[in-house]
């Protein structure tokens, strides 16, 4: 038998019947009590915090009630900021029903939480709340964000990025669902931007009998690009996918058939096709690294007046030299008469779909971090370990280090594995 008495700022006393082992631990913060319990019994219990997202028009939430239920059933404690799930159609009562505690503000989430689960990168006001040894699990996209990187390093946090977690198949399982969403959204937002009132050419994506459909060029045949091509073709556009991997082009051709043309990527091909295009959807990704600038400023100048660039890769810096981050509140701007849509959190506009799709893939990793503790979870799973971007002031992902010209520390060395 074991007994734990936790009296806030009182001592924690852990005793076992049948032997003389007694632990007296001075423990005021909640996390110290949990640490004492771990030390005494080898039991891992985690306090997981879910803050409300504060990025412009970001309505997703880090955990859904079904995930919270799994965590609480395993003995963990989950605190959720009031109203965090409302944008995705999830009420506070739904979280309470599965054992979560609702707290009034983000200060409590960041002040108490040992593992912080978010959707988007912490903004400056949130980064100030992070502390040494705290685990942050979210999208980060650090290669294009030196300011965030510096502040995460200074905080001493353990930052694990969804977008660089890998799988045994060589895919990016936590990025895939949001790439699917962004890819499927891109033709819709591109079609809207092509409307005259939004600065576009006044072209209907699918055309009508007797009038040609729009020319859509998709840069990159990965998950986002394939989904963008699928929806564009379904809307009746003339679609071309450009990629430099012949196997990717074969896959796209086999999957989408004659509805979509495929072209091997060269600078000449990109320039020629972009100049002819009504809509360019840029979706090239190099895991963890800054996106390559495939569309030069000169190419943008030569594009049709009123044509549109939807830069899905803007989280990683964007594929066009003229791209810069925008928000859902002000999603577009015009350079050389070309409309640019560069919203960094496109899936946030369809928050319910995106939230549940994301939780479907993050669940096993959140459970591993909570059940095993971050050190053991990262040590046992090399694919989760690939998600470790910052560890107590060190950059532990090579692509991020290379992009920002910072010293790289192998995660195994940082974790002393």
Distance CA 412, CA 378 (A): 9
333, β-bridge pairs: 340
**Cα separations in angstroms, 340 against 282, 305, 312, 321, 337:** 11, 12, 11, 11, 9
**Cα separations in angstroms, 248 against 187, 198, 222, 234:** 20, 34, 7, 20
Distance CA 76, CA 99 (A): 10
Among candidate residues 243, 315, 340, 397, the one labeled active-site is 315
DSSP state string for 353-388: HHHHHHHHHHHHHHHHHHHH-HHHHHHH-HHHHTTE
Query: Which token pair is 236?
Result: 């009746």
Long-range contacts of residues 269-273, Cβ cutoff 8 Å, at least 24 apart = 269/242, 270/219, 270/242, 270/294, 270/295, 270/299, 271/296, 271/299, 271/302, 273/217, 273/240, 273/242
Q: Is 227 exposed, middle or buried (0-12, 13-18, 19+ CB in 10 A)?
A: buried
Given a contact cutoff of 8 angstroms between Cβ atoms, the answer to whether 162 and 141 are in contact is no
Distance CA 270, CA 219 (A): 8
Active site residue 105: no
End-to-end Cα, the chain, rounded Å: 34
Burial letters for 357-373: b for 16+ Cβ neighbours within 10 Å, e otherwise? bbbebbbebbbbbbbbb
Crossing angle (nearest 10°) for helices 246-256 and 223-234: 30
CA neighbor of 324 nearest in space, from 341, 308, 338: 341
Other CB atoms within 10 A of residue 290 CB: 20
Among candidate residues 76, 77, 141, 340, the one labeled active-site is 141
Active site residue 92: no
Q: Active-site residues: which are they?
A: 141, 315
């Amino acid at each position: 038998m074991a007994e734990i008495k936790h009296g806030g700022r009182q001592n924690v006393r852990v005793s076992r019947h049948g032997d003389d082992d007694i632990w007296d631990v001075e423990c005021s913060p909640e996390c110290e009590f949990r640490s004492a319990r771990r030390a005494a019994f080898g039991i891992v219990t985690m306090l997981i915090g879910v803050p409300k997202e504060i990025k412009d028009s970001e309505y997703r939430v880090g955990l859904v009630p079904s995930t919270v239920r799994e965590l609480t059933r395993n003995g963990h404690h989950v605190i959720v900021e009031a109203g965090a799930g409302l944008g995705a159609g999830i009420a506070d009562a739904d979280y309470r029903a599965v054992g979560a505690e609702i707290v009034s503000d983000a200060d409590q989430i960041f002040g108490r939480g040992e593992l912080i689960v978010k959707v988007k990168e912490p903004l400056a006001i949130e980064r100030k709340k992070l502390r040494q040894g705290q685990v942050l699990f979210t999208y980060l996209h650090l290669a294009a964000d030196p300011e965030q990187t510096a502040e995460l390093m200074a905080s001493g946090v353990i930052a694990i990025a969804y977008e660089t977690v890998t799988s045994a198949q060589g895919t990016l399982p936590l990025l895939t669902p949001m790439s699917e969403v962004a890819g499927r959204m891109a033709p819709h937002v591109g079609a809207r931007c092509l409307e005259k009132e939004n600065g576009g050419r006044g072209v209907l994506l699918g055309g009508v009998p007797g009038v040609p459909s729009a020319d859509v060029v998709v840069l990159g045949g990965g998950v986002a690009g394939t989904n963008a091509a699928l929806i564009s073709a379904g809307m009746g556009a003339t679609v071309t996918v450009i990629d430099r991997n012949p196997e990717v082009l074969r896959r796209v051709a086999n999957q989408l058939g004659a509805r979509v043309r495929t072209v091997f990527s060269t600078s000449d091909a990109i320039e020629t096709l972009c100049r002819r295009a009504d809509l360019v959807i840029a979706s090239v990704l190099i895991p963890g690294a800054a996106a390559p600038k495939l569309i030069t400023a000169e190419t943008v100048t030569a594009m049709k007046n009123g044509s549109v660039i939807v830069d899905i890769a803007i989280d990683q810096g964007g594929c066009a030299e003229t791209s810069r981050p925008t928000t859902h509140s002000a999603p577009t701007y015009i350079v050389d008469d070309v409309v640019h849509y560069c919203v960094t959190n496109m899936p946030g506009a369809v928050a319910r779909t995106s939230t549940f799709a994301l939780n479907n893939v993050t669940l096993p990793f959140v459970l591993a971090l909570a059940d095993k503790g971050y050190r053991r979870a990262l040590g046992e799973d090399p694919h989760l370990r690939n998600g470790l971007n910052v560890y107590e002031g060190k950059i532990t992902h090579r692509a991020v280090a290379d992009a920002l010209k910072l010293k790289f520390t192998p995660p195994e060395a940082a974790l002393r594995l």
